[in-house]
């Protein structure tokens, strides 16, 4: 390698290092705070798309290499011959023993059951997989929302599963304690919590909501 080439390579590495230090790292720290602190400051979804998409794809890749937990499979078999609405109620009702917690990374269904706790994205992914196994259409929604019962509430990030009930209406499966064992109308839920859709996951992948 010539001296000139060496200098060019060193200069490029220096620029790359400075960019990572001054731009990428602060951006990652900001997003991690937004996701894991429960606070969700306003931001441009386009900027953080890559980080949330990478988190999902990493969990999805691990999940494809793992079997579903035995209890999750039992739930699917138990609900297979039930009516659509009973299936939706049943999926949320059986998860009460699993504690709601805060994760640094999204978990697969097996990791969720093994750990005994998970956050909203972990439950949303589990329900998504179970709904697909039951032949029911489903999506995962990433969104910001505001708690209507907290006057000082700020926007926070939340993840839910979107599906359809027996009448073909959009409904939400939500990890919120008040939502266990209930079928929640999507339209009423959006209005109540001032929901702003950010991203959605379907069979084709992770997408920025238009």
- Render pLDDT for 130-146 as a digit per residue (tens, 0 to 9): 999 999 999 999 988 77
Check residue 54 and give its pLDDT: 86
With respect to residue 155, please indicate whether it lies within any of the assigned structural domains: yes
Residue 11 sits in the same domain as residue 76: no
Residue 32 sits in the same domain as residue 97: no
Residue 23 sits in the same domain as residue 113: no
With respect to residue 136, please indicate whether it lies within any of the assigned structural domains: yes
Weakest-pLDDT range from 28-42, 162-176, 187-201: 28-42
Average pLDDT (113-120) is 89
With respect to residue 112, please indicate whether it lies within any of the assigned structural domains: yes
Residue 112 sits in the same domain as residue 157: yes
Distance CA 185, CA 173 (A): 10
Residue 202 sits in the same domain as residue 109: yes
Look up the CATH number of the domain holding residue 83: 3.10.620.30
Residue 111 sits in the same domain as residue 23: no
With respect to residue 111, please indicate whether it lies within any of the assigned structural domains: yes
Q: Which domain holds residue 84?
A: 55-208
Give the β-pairing of 138-145 and 156-164.
antiparallel
51 falls in which pLDDT band (50, 70, 90)? confident
Average pLDDT (34-62) is 70
Q: What percent of the chain has pLDDT over 70?
A: 70
User: Which residue would you say has higher pLDDT here, 182 or 170?
Assistant: 170
Check residue 172 and give its pLDDT: 93
Residue 91 sits in the same domain as residue 17: no
86 falls in which pLDDT band (50, 70, 90)? very high
Residue 76 sits in the same domain as residue 155: yes
Residue 25 sits in the same domain as residue 102: no
Task: Find residue 201's DSSP bridge partners.
Answer: 140, 206
Check residue 84 and give its pLDDT: 95
Contact at 8 Å (CB) between 117 and 96? no
Three-state secondary structure call for residue 197: strand
Contact at 8 Å (CB) between 68 and 126? no
Q: What percent of the chain has pLDDT over 90?
A: 36
With respect to residue 45, please indicate whether it lies within any of the assigned structural domains: no
With respect to residue 47, please indicate whether it lies within any of the assigned structural domains: no
* pTM for the full predicted model: 0.75
Average pLDDT (105-128) is 91
Q: Give residue 24's Cα distance to chain centre.
A: 22
Q: Per-residue pLDDT for 9 more than 90?
A: no
Dihedral angle computed from the Cα positions of residues 27, 196, 183 and 115, in that order, rounded to the nearest 10 degrees: 0
Considering its fold, how many domains does the chain have in total? 2
Average pLDDT (98-122) is 86
Query: Which letter, b or e, does each residue of 23-43 get, where b requires 16 or more Cβ atoms within 10 Å of its Cβ?
Result: eeeeeeeebeebbeeeebeee
- By C-alpha distance, which of 129, 190, 112 is closest to 158? 190
Residue 62 sits in the same domain as residue 20: no
Q: DSSP of 93-123, one letter per residue? A: HTTTTSEE---SS---HHHHHHHTEE-HHHH
Distance CA 5, CA 1 (A): 6
Q: Calculate the average pLDDT of the chain.
A: 78
């Amino acid at each position: 390698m010539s001296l000139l080439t060496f200098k060019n390579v060193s200069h490029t590495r220096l620029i790359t290092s400075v960019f990572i230090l001054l731009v990428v790292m602060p951006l990652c720290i900001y997003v991690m705070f937004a996701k894991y602190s429960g606070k969700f400051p306003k931001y441009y979804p386009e900027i953080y798309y890559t980080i949330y998409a990478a988190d999902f794809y990493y969990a999805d890749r691990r999940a494809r290499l793992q079997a579903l937990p035995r209890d999750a499979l039992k739930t699917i078999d138990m609900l297979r011959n039930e009516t659509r609405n009973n299936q939706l109620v049943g999926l949320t009702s059986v998860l009460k023993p699993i504690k709601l917690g805060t994760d640094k990374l999204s978990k697969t269904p097996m990791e969720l059951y093994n750990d005994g706790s998970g956050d909203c994205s972990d439950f949303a992914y589990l329900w998504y997989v179970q709904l697909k196994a039951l032949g029911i259409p489903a999506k995962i929604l990433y969104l910001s929302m505001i708690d209507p019962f907290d006057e000082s509430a700020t926007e926070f990030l939340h993840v839910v599963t979107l599906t359809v009930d027996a009448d073909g209406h959009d409904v939400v499966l939500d990890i919120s304690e008040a939502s266990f064992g209930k079928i929640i109308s999507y339209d009423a839920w959006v209005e109540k919590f001032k929901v702003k859709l950010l991203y959605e996951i379907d069979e084709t992948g992770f997408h920025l909501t238009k």
